[in-house]
Amino acid sequence: MSAALKFPRKPSWPSFASANSRPALRNPFETLACYPLPIPAHCAEPTGAPAVVKAFVLIVVDPAKTIEVYEKLRAVEGISEVYQVMGPYDIVAVVEVPSLTDVPAVISRHIRAIEGIESTTTCVTFPEAAGAR
């Protein structure tokens, strides 16, 4: 007598991810998620203070040009802070721009255009909760 194997039922998708109930995309980056994620209230509507996107740019520099690159980075619009550091990277620049779409322009047009920069790694921060510190 052979016993039939019983497999558990496939879980169904949550109701909020069904095609009929999917909300319209308000943010182009929502498409990166497997299912729609709600936009936090502090990100969806302006609260009077301009929203700022912050990114840390980790930069590898030709050792002979570190000081020159450091000085040029301090003059770039959109860069709020610049640090010389020890480790696998030579300089860390803090980019603060009004929109996430402005980050690539600062990186490609202003940072990577500086002679002496060999490579960059960019880390964009998550939006902070309103009032949380």
Please write the tens of the pLDDT for every residue from 88-105. 999 999 999 998 889 999
Q: CA-to-CA distance for 104 and 124, rounded, in angstroms?
A: 11
> Average of pLDDT values for 26-45?
48
In a domain, 40, yes or no: no
What share of the chain has pLDDT > 70, as a percent? 57
Domain boundaries, position 53? 47-124
Q: CA-to-CA distance for 122 and 22, rounded, in angstroms?
A: 32
Cα separation values, 132 from 37, 50, 94, 127, Å: 21, 16, 20, 11
In a domain, 79, yes or no: yes
Q: Is 121 strand, coil or helix?
A: strand
Residue 1: which pLDDT band, with cuts at 50, 70 and 90? low
Beta carbons within 10 angstroms of residue 81's beta carbon: 13
Terminal Cα-to-Cα distance of the chain (whole angstroms): 66
What is the domain count for the chain?
A: 1
Q: Which tokens is 30 given?
A: 């929502």
In a domain, 80, yes or no: yes
In a domain, 9, yes or no: no
In a domain, 22, yes or no: no
**Residue 79: CATH number of its domain:** 3.30.70.920
